[in-house]
Every structure is written in C-alpha cells, then in structure tokens.
Chains A and B, each alone.
Chain A
Amino acid sequence: MTEIQKNNSYKVRLFIAGKSANSKLAQKNLDLLLTKISDCDFEIEIIDVLKDPSIAVQEGIFITPALQIFSANDNSLIFGNLKDIDKLLNLFP
C-alpha cells in the first residue's frame, strides 16, 4: 500500500466507551490509518462517552466506537472499531 499524498486538513473525532476492547482497537486503528495519510493536517479529538455523554447526545452518537470526519467539503460517520483501514482511506480523497 502506497501512502496517499494529499494537501488537506481534517478534523476527526473518535467516540469511545472507556477501556473496552473495541475502544482500544479503534484508537489503534485510527493511529494506523492516519499514519498512512501524509501531507494532511489532522485535528484529533477523543471523547469517552462514559465520562461525558453530552456531546454524544448532541451529535446523535448512540453506538461506540464512532468516528466523525469533518473536512471542508464533506462530513462522514463511521461506526465500529475501524478495522477496514483500506476502505476508510477512500474517505480521504
């Protein structure tokens, strides 16, 4: 897999639930995903819904892990532990 060259800036927000297995996997997979994308600025926010569910309520996040990707053109929402890294790379055109 070659690295994707892009010049863009994204905000990503990962909702997790404490230290559950899926929460840990999601964080690991997100790190891996982001290392595969270069020349992009990322603003990363991790929210633990067990500590503060208010943003989850506001954003309609009812299952975890959940990843929100905000860019200038588009917003995406992904549920799950983000195991399909290759598929998710397509979200960063």
Chain B
Amino acid sequence: MAENRVDNCDKMQIDKEETGIIGLDEVLNGGFPRSSLTLVCGGPGTGKTIIGLEFIIRGAEKNEPGILLTFEEREEDLRNYACKLNWDIEKYEQENLVSLICARIDPEAILSGDFDLKAIFAILEHKVKSLGANRVVIDAPDVFLRLLDNIARERAELHILHDKLRDAGLTTLMTVKGDTDNIFSSHYEFLEYMADCVIQLDQRVYEQVSTRRLRVVKYRGSSCSRNEYPFSITDRGVWIIPVTRANLQHHAFGESISTGISDLDELLDGGYRRNSCTLISGSSGTGKTTFVCSFAVSAAAKGEKILYLDFEESWESLTSCMVSPGIDLKKAKKTGNLYFQSSMPESQGIEEHLIRAFRKIEEFKPKYLIVDAISACRRMGSSHAAFDYLLRLINHCKTIGITSLLTNLTDTKDARDEITGIDLSSVIDTVILLRNLESEGRFTREIGILKSRGRKHSESIHQFKITDAGIQIIGEE
C-alpha cells in the first residue's frame, strides 16, 4: 500500500497520523495531519463523537496515549458507546493510555461577572503532560465557548487553545456541529483557516434507506479522495469502504479453474480464470444457479473455499433444488469449504450488506465468491445502490485475489441489454448467457459465451441439458 500511495502524485506528502479507523486512512491518504488540527463537522447523530472516540482508542491500541475532552456528552454515555463497540476504556485508563474529561458545566451554578477558560486549558495541559499524550479530541467546544457570549472572545479563546495544542505537537480532532457551509459562514468561519483538514459527515435518507456519509472538504498540503463515502457504525467501530480506489490494484488473471462442468471448461478454453469475475445471465428457469452450484461443489471437493451469498433462497430451499441435478451441496458444506450466507436484500442498507460480506471474507478467507443473484440487489434500495454494492464488492475481490461468479436474472428476451443495464461490464471479465427456446412443443436450453477477456472462447451457441448428473453440453446449434 505504502508504495502505491506515492504513485498517487503525492510525493510531497505532509506528515500524517494513521487514524486506525477502517477505511478512513485510505480516504485521507494516510491519516490526519500530524501535530495539526482536523475538524469533523456534522449534524446531530452523524457519528462525530464516535469517530473522535475511535481515534483515541485506536491510538491506545498502538500505545499512543490520547485524551478525549467533551463539553457535551455525559461520561456514562461515552462509556456506554465504548462498551457497545467492545472498547475497554477502563483498561486503557489504568494503563494511562486514555483519559476522558467530561467538562459539562453544572447547570445549577450561578454566574456572577466575567470569567475565562484558563481552567480547562490548564486541566488539558496537565493531562497531556501526565499521559504524554499525542492525540487529543475536543468534542463540541461550541457548547463551552457560547458561555462567553462574546464572539470576539470565543475566537480569542479558540486561538489560544489551538496554539497550545499545536505548540504541544498534538494531533487534534475537533468536532463541530452543523455542515461546513453553515459553520464557515457563521462566526466560526475562522475554524476553517485554523484546521488543516476538514471532514464533513451527514446522514441522509434515500429510497427509505438511511446512509451516513463522509466527505473530506479540504486537506491542506495533501491529496485525498474528494468523493463522498458512505460509512457505517458497526460493533467494531466506524467502517468506511471507499467506493473507488485512487488506483486499481487488481490482481492479474491466473490459471484456469474448472467450472465443475467439463463441457463448459472446453467452451471457455479451460475454465474460469483465477481473479476474474464471471457473470451468468439468463431469465427465470434457465439454470443459472445450477451452474454456480456445480462450480461450488467442484471447488469445495478440491479443498478451496467458497463464500456463497444468496439473495433469493434459503439454504434448505437451495439444497433441495440441487438434489435433482445431482449436486450435493450438503456434502460440500461438510468439507468446511463452502460457507453459505443468505439474506433479504431489503433487510439492510448497502453499507451493512457490504460490511457483512467484507467481514465474512476477512474471517473465512475464501478463494471464490458467488453472488446469487445480483438482480435481487436492486431491492437494497435502487439500481444505483445495487451497482454501488456490487462494484465495491467485486473491486475488493479483485484486489485481494478472489475469483467471483455472479448470476443475474434478466426479464427481457435479450439478456445482453441487462448486462449493460446494470452497468457493471467494466468489472466483469466473462459473460455467459443462458436461455430457454421454445420450439416444436418443447424447450431447448442454450448457452453462449458473450465475452471472455484475454481468452479464446467458443463463439457458437450451444445446447445443454440439466441431467441427474449435472449439466451436459450437447453441441452447437
């Protein structure tokens, strides 16, 4: 990864502090600016405090002490968040790696005359020294500054704070409410000039699915990915899966792998190529699932791991359907090489679906991924959501060297329209079309290879049968 970043016209990189938050370092091209100020802006519930808390926890994991100073959250609430995310704050506190300061002002207190914020700065400085901290999060300072009720003084105090943090060489994250347009046109606009990096969070509902998004508004002295990235808060913390990588790092195609159907291996000049992505497309009842299951059983028997994501059927229904063509999925599962995960597409948003898949890939380490069927992914929200999900999933597979096999249910007679329709053709290397033709009172099954990148392949349409010993290709039409 490190060398690749350099290629990214980023030779004059400033010094950065890895956040340790999944995906964020990739978006930021390395992390937050070291010994400098980063602003995280966002409305209520967008995840500002969680990002701050995670930044401190990930630091503590690397033995880098950090302090979280919040003017808004109650201490027990913060501890509850941490607990839900499986972060052991108490342990890090005992090891002097984390300190939480909850500086909520007692609402019962009486105000009499002018005051200043020196105490909080003194407390912060004292904690920084005693922990030897190099990460600091200042959460919701606006709540505190507003007590001054004087814009000029609010600015002056923020400048003092900023100077102190910078002089101490602290990598600081400050959370601010609202979106950047409002903040920077309001009396906090100077914050934008003080910060070297500004991140905007928001949460939007589109097609009834609510998605959190993150965008880097500015990053002084560094390149970064400017797109908007959806993210999710999981039980492991914040999780961002960048949609598009700055540079494609796909593995080259490898050797041919048997499709599990010897006749098909011949048509494909040996089989599916390792690290490639194959799409099997056809209307209902054309045998798409039978093709992918033939492959799953064959690969499992050879001791290679397959992750099967099913958006249409349950395991029980799938295994019983595959009994008739003689495909024993249960046996394949018993080898431990086949992992079946089924879910309703509409049950979660795409981020949750993606994270579920990514997490299983990480745990199970499959060599192959089957998605049955990508057409059902539209039910995750929209065609765009399906495209987004599949593009990121396939990109991830190609980057880590997983060979993928997708099925697509088409409703039009000409399945070719559907492939360009879902717009994934740039990541799909091989397309196999299946169809049922009606002639002389019976159906004939046909198969054709529409494309196969970097390979000679049969250009003819072939007939095939699904027998009780699997798929057999009969011959050219």
Could you tell me which A residues sit within 8 Å of B by CB distance? 15, 17-18, 20, 22, 25-26, 29, 49-50, 53-54, 56-57, 60-66, 76-84, 87-88, 91
B123 contacts A53, CB within 8 Å?
yes
Shortest distance between the CB of B75 and any CB in chain A (Å): 10
Shortest distance between the CB of A49 and any CB in chain B (Å): 5
| Residue in B103, B105, B115, B144 whose beta carbon sits within 8 Å of that of A64 in the complex | B115
Shortest distance between the CB of A69 and any CB in chain B (Å): 10
Q: 24 A-B Cβ contacts within 8 A? A: A17-B116, A29-B113, A49-B122, A49-B123, A53-B123, A53-B126, A54-B126, A57-B123, A57-B127, A62-B117, A62-B119, A63-B117, A64-B115, A64-B118, A65-B115, A76-B110, A77-B106, A78-B112, A79-B109, A79-B111, A80-B113, A81-B114, A81-B115, A87-B110
Name which residue of chain A comes closest to B104, CB basis. Answer: A60
Shortest distance between the CB of A2 and any CB in chain B (Å): 21
A18 contacts B118, CB within 8 Å?
yes
A49 contacts B112, CB within 8 Å?
no
Shortest distance between the CB of B106 and any CB in chain A (Å): 6
Is B120 at the interface (CB under 8 A from chain A)?
yes
Residues of A within 8 A of B127 (CB): 57
Name which residue of chain B comes closest to A51, CB basis. Answer: B122
In the assembled complex, the Cα of A81 lies from the Cα of B111 at a distance in Å of 9
B115 contacts A79, CB within 8 Å?
yes
Question: How many residues on B have C-beta within 8 angstroms of the other chain's C-beta atoms?
Answer: 25
| Residue in A53, A57, A77, A80 whose beta carbon sits within 8 Å of that of B115 in the complex | A80
- The listed residue with most B CB atoms (<10 A of its CB), out of A49, A53, A87, is A53
Name which residue of chain B comes closest to A60, CB basis. Answer: B106
Shortest distance between the CB of A77 and any CB in chain B (Å): 4
Name which residue of chain B comes closest to A88, CB basis. Answer: B112
A62 contacts B112, CB within 8 Å?
no
Residues of A within 8 A of B101 (CB): 57
| Residue in B109, B113, B119, B120 whose beta carbon sits within 8 Å of that of A82 in the complex | B113
With A62-B123, A63-B120, A64-B119 as given contacts, are A25 and B113 in contact (CB-CB < 8 Å)? yes
Name which residue of chain B comes closest to A47, CB basis. Answer: B119
With A77-B109, A78-B110 as given contacts, are A20 and B118 in contact (CB-CB < 8 Å)? yes
Shortest distance between the CB of A10 and any CB in chain B (Å): 16
Is B147 at the interface (CB under 8 A from chain A)?
yes
Could you tell me which B residues sit within 8 Å of A by CB distance? 101, 103-106, 108-120, 122-123, 125-127, 144, 147
Residues of A within 8 A of B119 (CB): 15, 17, 49, 53, 56, 61-64, 66
B103 contacts A62, CB within 8 Å?
yes
- The listed residue with most B CB atoms (<10 A of its CB), out of A17, A22, A60, A79, is A79
| Residue in B114, B122, B125, B144 whose beta carbon sits within 8 Å of that of A80 in the complex | B114
A81 contacts B112, CB within 8 Å?
yes
Name which residue of chain B comes closest to A61, CB basis. Answer: B119
Residues of B within 8 A of A91 (CB): 110
A84 contacts B116, CB within 8 Å?
no
Name which residue of chain A comes closest to B109, CB basis. Answer: A77
| Residue in A49, A53, A63 whose beta carbon sits within 8 Å of that of B105 in the complex | A63
B123 contacts A63, CB within 8 Å?
no
Shortest distance between the CB of A53 and any CB in chain B (Å): 4
B122 contacts A79, CB within 8 Å?
no
By Cβ-Cβ distance, the 5 closest A-B pairs, closest first, are A17-B118, A83-B113, A80-B113, A81-B113, A62-B103
Residues of A within 8 A of B144 (CB): 62
In the assembled complex, the Cα of A57 lies from the Cα of B127 at a distance in Å of 10
With A56-B123, A57-B101, A62-B103 as given contacts, are A20 and B113 in contact (CB-CB < 8 Å)? no
| Residue in A50, A60, A80, A81 whose beta carbon sits within 8 Å of that of B118 in the complex | A50
In the assembled complex, the Cα of A62 lies from the Cα of B123 at a distance in Å of 8
In the assembled complex, the Cα of A61 lies from the Cα of B9 at a distance in Å of 49
In the assembled complex, the Cα of A22 lies from the Cα of B117 at a distance in Å of 11
Residues of B within 8 A of A54 (CB): 126
In the assembled complex, the Cα of A15 lies from the Cα of B115 at a distance in Å of 11
In the assembled complex, the Cα of A69 lies from the Cα of B378 at a distance in Å of 65
In the assembled complex, the Cα of A83 lies from the Cα of B113 at a distance in Å of 5
In the assembled complex, the Cα of A49 lies from the Cα of B127 at a distance in Å of 13
